[in-house]
Structure 1
């Protein structure tokens, strides 16, 4: 006869094994990674979304150990690429509040992609986007985006891009650092000073110093935006949505 622990998937068992080393209650642990008790203690399988939340909250965990049970529970060294090239001993790990988007889920080569608020996304025009945990709604692990250089994901609001995008669809974005990489008639995320975040197709404008933004929904007319109003541009490379 199987015990309750034996019925739980091996990955869930390893997550609970790690939780037992933290010296905190299970309730606090579940709150930190944003899941319910039943999510990890039930006999159902575990989703990529739950694994991404766990690994994003506790980046010192060795993904190979988590997935296969092989190797050490913790990574031997942790490097913060934006701060130092010096290895940090495990027992001195400080988990940063701001997590650079270049952090890689090393063993699988799949990067957890942050789904961010519009306020956070507006900062991509600054050239370096470092996102606070409070601005991250979810983390997505999407193998098909592995080679797409996705910097962040954001939810679509409104109906201006219907039927291509529905409200609530999640779009994956690659920040453009040079305007010469604009792709006409492709969907882009545009950060503007006055109108905030726009999701539109881009077309050349007849006016110098302007660009034309076009909606897929014909009830929304196209309009021109001056380049000096735009603080950031990102190409939409994919999307996630529900029927």
Structure 2
């Protein structure tokens, strides 16, 4: 993950913390007078200015500059003594900040993770504290274009683990660990009860049927961090 990608996640985190209502407001708080001048940085049209990360971290002292620059540690720290541009928090959000955060599981190591197999040690996974995703069990990056335009390759989705005998909410997006690998797809009803129909949002990919016994773990997607 590049520094720019971590900056984008930091901006999304500030929005979820209530520091700003949207990306434009975060830019205004940082001193950018126009929406385009701030967005050009996030879209890599202009280089990251000197002191940009320092200005970003001044909006809330829980943001970890070291994580943004190098990826070391966690995105949020100093959770017990927050200092913000303005403050409007609920107690349950404060309690959530004190948790360890949600692990970002690499796709290659995802197989078997939801089923309880030891694939990713706790210390190996980056962790993120995103209040909007409270209750999520893990994060995973989207690969490929099969779910475009719903999800782009590189987006990070938040997932909540479900039991294998779960009652599918038809047409919802799930992360399925299958014998063919990990897939992020819509699950729809099949003609035969022992099967489900796997559907991509990208119409270039044909739907197919998957036997329920080929599914090793199930998680429903409950949110996304989009990297513009």
> TM-score surpassing 0.5?
yes
1:89-238 equivalence runs, <5 A: 108-109=97-98, 111-127=100-116, 131-133=120-122, 135-136=124-125, 138-146=126-134, 149-193=135-179, 195-238=180-223
CA distance in 2, matches of 1:235, 1:226: 18
Q: How does 1:22-41 map to 2 (within 5 A)?
A: none
Distance 1:216 1:107 in 2: 33
1:37-87 C-alpha deviation (Å, 9 max, x unpaired): x99x9675356464996469xxxx9842x647xxxxxxxxxxxxxxxxxxx
Runs of 4+ in 1 over 6 A off after TM superposition: none
Question: Which residue of 1 is the match for residue 33 of structure 2?
Answer: none
TM-score (norm 2): 0.59
The 1:210/1:139 distance shift into structure 2, 3 A limit, reads same
Determine the C-alpha separation between the residues in 2 that align with 1:120 and 1:174. Answer: 17
Q: Which moved more, 1:47-56 or 1:184-193?
A: 47-56
Residue deviations 1:176-230, cap 9 Å, x none?
A: 114333211010000011x210000001111241111000000100000111111
Higher relative contact order structure (alpha carbons within 8 Å, sequence separation ≥ 6): 2
For structure 1, the 5+ residue unaligned runs are: 1-37, 69-104
TM-score under structure 1 length normalisation: 0.56
- Give 1 or 2 for the bigger CA radius of gyration: 1
- CA-atom RMSD, angstroms? 3.5
What are the ranges of 5 or more consecutive residues in structure 2 without an aligned counterpart? Answer: 1-49, 84-93
Does the CA contact (< 8 Å) of 1:156 and 1:167 recur in 2?
yes
